[in-house]
Amino acid sequence: MKYLKIMLLCVFPLLSVLGCKINAGDPLNIIPKPVSAKTFEGFFNITASTVIQYNFDIEKGALIIETLATHLSDYYKMESVAQQSKAGQSKNSVFLKLSDNKKIKKEGYKLKVNKNGVIVEASDLNGLFYGVQSLIQMMPAESGVREVVEIPFAVVEDYPRFAWRGLHLDVCRHFIPKEFIFKYLDFMAMHKMKTFHFHLTEDQGWRIEIKKYPLLTEVGSKRKETLIGSARTSKEYDGIPHEGFYTQDDIREIVKYAADRFITVVPEIEMPGHALAALASYPDLGCTGGPYEVATRWGIFHDVMCAGKESTFEFLQNVITEVLELFPSEYIHIGGDECPKTKWKECPLCQQRIADEGLKDEHELQSYFIQRMEKFLNSKGRILIGWDEILEGGLAPNAAVMSWRGEAGGIEAARQNHNVVMSPGTHCYLDHYQADPKTQPLAIGGFTPLDKIYAYEPVPDSLTVEEARYVMGAQGNVWTEYMKTSDHVEYMVYPRAAALAEVVWSPKAERDYNEFLNRLRVLAKRYDFYQLNYARVAFEQPVE
């Protein structure tokens, strides 16, 4: 299947769908909702003679122009001409203006539509890209041949509330083909999401090629079978081998595709727990030396990386060195979650490490482990981020925390002046049920409907104004234990990710769930057009 360019999607104005004209003061159906949007009587008509003008380096901003031009071509069969203009806007044009206007905030844009045309102005290229996404959402809903594309007179001023607007994807429990990753990124771009958290290693599979350690993919990317049904109750397996990994060329392609859409890819290499795939590949990484097997069921396993062996840290530093060459992101995620200490308590080398380093217990041994990796990352100019378990035994000096076990870890980290990404399982886990489990595909559990995500507030009330500045944003997490196909991933992620996109972009005071639903129903028309397998049941849930 050849995927369409989803970043060109737009939201259709509901009143236009109904055959009505937008009146002065009517809202625009843009998701996420802009900081400020005012409409006026009248329309600017884009026609075949309308020129797309720009004043920036075409090599750096080609996709911005392509996004707009391709939308006009694909949806309305209207071919357009783009030309560079450093003299300013001409009449009957859409002018994409990169400026040094200090009144436009970082990643923000200003969009004006009047009788002369459209100006999208920003002080950086990603702001222009987001402005074009909003402009597309102001266009008519109906596809097909058009001689005129009406855009309502309006002034939109917009910028994001948070810098970290994240969406995660686990490709380890079930491998996801590269082509779907592109589609995933396209939808993120449409929703103005900025950070793609790429979960690449697990107990059930190692999914990234590491040249120095070929067994990680020769052995670690394969499991002999997979559990059928719930991990809580089932002992049945499918007997079908499951495998897959991304070559380093694949990773480069994904990173570039994301960067072109102003999305940063943050890789996650799990340590010291959730590492059975690595241990099966190189048994000496464990405390006992194995034998180990790539996990075939879900859960937490007692076999973890040995913290007492220098060879463990040598291995991880070599792995991370190759990872850093592939991912230019400032943050590198090292996991750090759900690491049982059983084997460490029994391991003479781990106990010797505790004694030699003057550590109190195994929790401090985990902190030692994380701090060693942080020093290595810092020496390479990068910042470590991990799940909130990295707080146990003492937080590494410069580390950022991703708070998933509720908000307590994030609050504690912010109070210690560490950057935080809020991602509590109660509100941000898109692998939870979104409707009555009896009507839904098997999921890990929990209940996180659309309105609950939309109601989430990333900054806890208990933080002071100063502490709140350490909250970088929020992220939706997608764990794929029970998602075997990309269609299933789409079903679990959308439209709930649209709600989270508005949470991390739009002003808190402007959020209104019923009004959001009206705009979302319009957005769903575009989901239908592109055959996105979204959860229609999300619209049917009663508001809690």
Q: Does one domain contain both 151 and 176?
A: no
Q: Quick one: pLDDT band at residue 235, thresholds 50, 70, 90? A: very high
Q: What is the pLDDT of residue 9?
A: 33
Q: What is the pLDDT of residue 541?
A: 66
pTM of the model: 0.94
Residue 323 pLDDT more than 90? yes
Q: What is the pLDDT of residue 15?
A: 36
Q: Does one domain contain both 203 and 254?
A: yes
Range of the domain at 143: 6-158
Q: Does one domain contain both 205 and 265?
A: yes
Instruction: Find the DSSP H helices in 206-341.
Output: 215-218, 248-260, 276-281, 310-326
Q: Does one domain contain both 115 and 255?
A: no
As a three-state string, the secondary structure of 399-419 is CEEEECCCCHHHHHHHHCCCC
Q: Quick one: pLDDT band at residue 120, thresholds 50, 70, 90? A: very high
> Which of 158, 193, 228 is the last residue in one of the domains?
158
What CATH number is given to the structural domain containing 142?
3.30.379.10
> How long, in residues, is the chain?
544
Q: What is the pLDDT of residue 114?
A: 96
Between helix 362-379 and helix 310-326 the angle, nearest 10°, is: 40
CB proximity list for 462: less than 8 A, separation 6 or greater: 411
Q: What is the pLDDT of residue 308?
A: 98
Q: Does one domain contain both 381 and 292?
A: yes
Q: Does one domain contain both 322 and 338?
A: yes
Residue 420 pLDDT more than 90? yes
Specify if 313 maps to a domain. Answer: yes
Q: What is the pLDDT of residue 326?
A: 98
Specify if 335 maps to a domain. Answer: yes
Q: Does one domain contain both 176 and 127?
A: no
> Which of 137, 158, 179 is the last residue in one of the domains?
158
> Which of 121, 137, 158 is the last residue in one of the domains?
158
Contact 345, 339 (CB under 8 A): no
**DSSP helix/strand/coil, 369:** helix
Q: What is the pLDDT of residues 17-40, one digit of tens each?
A: 333 455 555 679 999 999 999 999
Contact 266, 328 (CB under 8 A): no
Q: Quick one: pLDDT band at residue 263, thresholds 50, 70, 90? A: very high
Mean pLDDT within 379-404: 96
Dihedral angle sign, alpha carbons of residues 249, 251, 255, 261? positive
Residue 544's Cβ-count burial label (10 Å; 0-12, 13-18, 19+) is: exposed
Q: Quick one: pLDDT band at residue 88, thresholds 50, 70, 90? A: confident
Q: Count up the domains in the chain and report the number.
A: 2
Q: Does one domain contain both 195 and 299?
A: yes
Q: Of 29, 27, 49, 48, give the one whose Cα is nearest residue 38.
A: 27
Q: Quick one: pLDDT band at residue 107, thresholds 50, 70, 90? A: very high
Higher pLDDT, 15 or 132: 132
Specify if 122 maps to a domain. Answer: yes
Specify if 137 maps to a domain. Answer: yes
Q: What is the pLDDT of residue 527?
A: 85
Residue 544 pLDDT more than 90? no
Q: How many CB atoms lie within 10 A of CB 4?
A: 15
- The terminus-to-terminus CA distance of the chain in angstroms comes to 39
Q: Quick one: pLDDT band at residue 52, thresholds 50, 70, 90? A: very high
Rounded Cα–Cα distance for residues 368 and 272 (Å)? 11
Rounded Cα–Cα distance for residues 107 and 208 (Å)? 31
Mean pLDDT within 46-64: 94
Specify if 1 maps to a domain. Answer: no
Q: What percent of the chain has pLDDT above 70? A: 94
Residue 255 pLDDT more than 70? yes
Task: Give the CB-side neighbour count of residue 513, counting CA atoms within 13 A.
Answer: 15
Specify if 405 maps to a domain. Answer: yes
Residue 178 pLDDT more than 70? yes
Q: What is the pLDDT of residue 542?
A: 65
Q: What is the pLDDT of residue 543?
A: 58
Q: Quick one: pLDDT band at residue 5, thresholds 50, 70, 90? A: very low
Mean pLDDT within 232-238: 97
Task: Give the CB-side neighbour count of residue 541, counting CA atoms within 13 A.
Answer: 24
Q: Does one domain contain both 199 and 122?
A: no
Q: Of 326, 279, 307, 281, give the one whose Cα is nearest residue 373.
A: 307
Q: Give the angle 174-403-440 at the CA atoms, nearest 5°.
A: 45
Specify if 123 maps to a domain. Answer: yes
What CATH number is given to the structural domain containing 281?
3.20.20.80
Q: Phi/psi of residue 144, each to 5°? A: 120, 175
Residue 8 pLDDT more than 90? no
Higher pLDDT, 52 or 17: 52
Q: What is the pLDDT of residue 539?
A: 81
Between helix 58-76 and helix 125-137 the angle, nearest 10°, is: 10
Contact 368, 311 (CB under 8 A): no
Q: What is the pLDDT of residue 23?
A: 55
Strand pairing partners for 402?
387, 421
Q: What is the pLDDT of residue 312?
A: 98
Q: Does one domain contain both 419 and 515?
A: yes
Mean pLDDT within 296-316: 98
Q: What is the pLDDT of residues 165-175, one digit of tens each?
A: 999 999 999 99
Rounded Cα–Cα distance for residues 130 and 189 (Å)? 8
Specify if 511 maps to a domain. Answer: yes
Q: Does one domain contain both 378 and 505?
A: yes
Q: Does one domain contain both 356 and 321?
A: yes
Residue 206 pLDDT more than 50? yes
**DSSP helix/strand/coil, 329:** coil
Task: Give the CB-side neighbour count of residue 284, counting CA atoms within 13 A.
Answer: 9
Q: Phi/psi of residue 306, each to 5°? A: -75, 125
Longest dimension (CA), the chain: 78
Residue 203 pLDDT more than 70? yes
